[in-house]
Amino acid sequence: MANFKNKRALNTVLSVVLGLLCVVYIYPIFMILTNSLKDELAISTTRAFELPTAETFVGLQNYVYGVQEMNFMASFGYSLIITVSSVALILLCCSMCAWYITRVTGKLSKAMYYLCVFSMVVPFQMVMFTLAKTADTLKLNNPFNICIIYLGFGAGLAVFMFTGFVKSMPLEIEEAAMIDGCNPLQIFFRVVIPLLKPAMISTAILETMWVWNDYLLPTLVLDIKKYRTIPMAIQYFRGSYGSVQMAPMMACIILTILPVIILYIACQKYIIEGVIAGAVKG
């Protein structure tokens, strides 16, 4: 009985602590949301930490300004193209690579796996200047080809997660499909891909949050005058003499994080399952 009471008390304390941590994490988003509904003067003073009042509330004025005047929709389109193409390429190529590494044992497959894992610990700053020059030479400096660069940087995490998940899949299912006359491509797309659904979704969410919010790589590779992703566009909410238009900026930040939040909420039940399976060691 005493152990039960102690366990219940511990659970209560943990619930309170985790609840406070949730408030700490949510508070900045809440502040951005409330300030996106205020006028510029209220944000630039101590009233930035207050709730909107009848005097400071401007409704959707900041959102309209950010979308129309700052060409936000064009940036949204570039970010969407880059994110969708990059994540799709990462999922397809890395799942194939992980399946090959797991099912074809040998020195080559082991070397490929360790190279992919090693790529996760290489600092981006070590390769960014060489990367910018290479991207210009190979014509990868546009929203339609930059996905190839993201494939290289995102392959490490994706291959690691897919490899762990494939190791937990029974080989007998693939052998049965082979006996039925399926070739390797048919086995992969008809048998392996459906079984990889939890890992696919969890990896897609992680890679989407990375690509969607990435600022440094597009800034180095893309032509800033022609193409601006959302993180790049937000940096240009500046007026005369270097002043920053905080209210429209916060409105655009809210519009930026909404797609990722919706995607995360819709697919959150697959995240833990995919991450745990991707951490399995074989």
CATH of the domain at 265: 1.10.3720.10
Same domain membership, residue 270 and residue 138: yes
Q: Are residues 194 and 209 in the same domain?
A: yes
Task: Please give the residue range of the domain that contains residue 28.
Answer: 2-61
31 and 49 in contact (C-beta within 8 Å)?
A: yes
Q: What is the mean pLDDT of the chain?
A: 83
Can you list the pairs that 119-127 forms with residues at least 24 positions away whose Cβ atoms lie under 8 Å? 119/152, 119/153, 119/155, 119/156, 120/156, 120/157, 120/160, 124/153, 124/216, 124/217
- What tokens were used for 46? 């101590």
Spatial CB neighbours of 117, under 8 Å, sequence gap ≥ 6: 156, 159, 160
Count of the separate structural domains present in the chain: 2
Angle between helices 72-103 and 107-118 (to 10 degrees): 150
Q: Tell me the per-residue pLDDT of 78-102, one tens digit each, with 9 for 90 and over.
A: 999 999 999 999 999 999 999 999 8
Hey, what are 223's tokens? 């032509």
Domain boundary among 44, 61, 78: 61
Task: Give the pLDDT score at 134.
Answer: 87
| Residue 27, pLDDT score | 87
Domain ends where: 10, 39, 61?
A: 61
pLDDT for residue 96:
92
Q: What tokens does 180 get?
A: 């039925």
- d(C-alpha 235, C-alpha 267), whole Å: 30
Instruction: Dump pLDDT digits (tens) for 122-161.
Output: 888 888 888 888 888 888 888 999 999 999 898 888 998 8
pLDDT at 168: 83
Domain match, 47 and 113 both: no
Residue 72 and residue 183 in one domain? yes
Please list the ranges in the chain whose pLDDT falls under 50. Answer: 240, 278-282
How far apart, in whole angstroms, are the C-alpha atoms of residue 240 and residue 249?
A: 15
Q: Find residue 16's DSSP bridge partners.
A: none
120 in the same domain as 234: yes
Could you give the angle at which helices 246-278 and 147-167 cross, rounded to 10 degrees?
Answer: 30
For residue 93, the model assigns a pLDDT of: 93
Confidence at residue 282, expressed as pLDDT on a 0 to 100 scale: 44
Cβ atoms of residues 151 and 86 within 8 Å: yes
Domain final position from 27, 61, 95: 61
CA atoms within 13 A on the CB side of 168: 17
